[in-house]
Structure 1
Amino acid sequence: MEILGRERRRRWTQAQKLEILGAVGANGEPLARVARRYDVSRSQIYNWRHQFKKSGLLPAMVGPTFLPVGIGAPMLEAEPALERRMGSPSIVELCLAQGRRLRFDSGIAAAALTRLIRSVEAA
């Protein structure tokens, strides 16, 4: 990385960009953590990825990607009779970074869930 003159704009070589893109997903490391480590915005990494795929320098993922999933014992419901009568959605448990667990109804709005996950991970 190089900072030039008064502009203070960082210039990344193609090799550095590919290194950063290669770090995403390596050993399960999420894009956000890679962005923080290299002090780059997430949108910049997405832009680089798009540019490299478009130019053919970054191969598109072939086939499905499999992620590890752990299945534990079923959760005990606090008020099973009331929930069944009301027909509420099932409870989902999401395991986050640093051992945090988040439980929510499967009927939660995607935008609300996204805000909730971001606030929990930022804490």
Structure 2
Amino acid sequence: MRVEVLGGVERRRRWSRDDKMRIIEETLAPGAVVTEIARRHGISTSLVFTWRRRARLASVVSA
């Protein structure tokens, strides 16, 4: 049995509002696959859906 210990501390990446909106817009394009877009940007699919939900709620509140 082999056990591998990963060293170091992985820091959270901070995404600007513009970066988030750009990624969200990518996911809204016809034929877009959220999983592929998330993988390309190095983020989880669930994070992309969280950003989309928050953006949708923010637009409803401001309308």
TM-score (structure 2 length as normaliser): 0.72
User: Which structure features the higher share of strand residues?
Assistant: 1
Provide structure 1 residue ranges, at least 5 long, that are not aligned to the other structure. Answer: 1-5, 58-123
* CA shift for structure 1 position 29: 2.1
Structure 1 residue runs of 4 or more that deviate by more than 2 Å after TM superposition: none
Give the distance between the partners of 2:30 and 2:58, measured in 1 at CA: 26
Where relative contact order (Cα < 8 A, 6+ residues apart) is larger, the structure is 2
Equivalences, count: 52
> Does residue 45 of structure 1 match 2:48?
yes
Among all aligned residue pairs of Structure 1 and Structure 2, give the percentage whose two residues are the same amino acid: 33
Q: What is the correspondence of 1:31-110 to structure 2 with a 5 Å cutoff?
A: 31-56=34-59
User: Which structure features the higher share of helix residues?
Assistant: 2
* CA shift for structure 1 position 26: 2.3
Give the distance between the partners of 1:22 and 1:33, measured in 2 at CA: 14
Give the distance between the partners of 1:43 and 1:21, measured in 2 at CA: 12
What's the C-alpha RMSD, in Å, of the aligned pairs?
A: 1.8
Provide structure 2 residue ranges, at least 5 long, that are not aligned to the other structure. Answer: 1-8
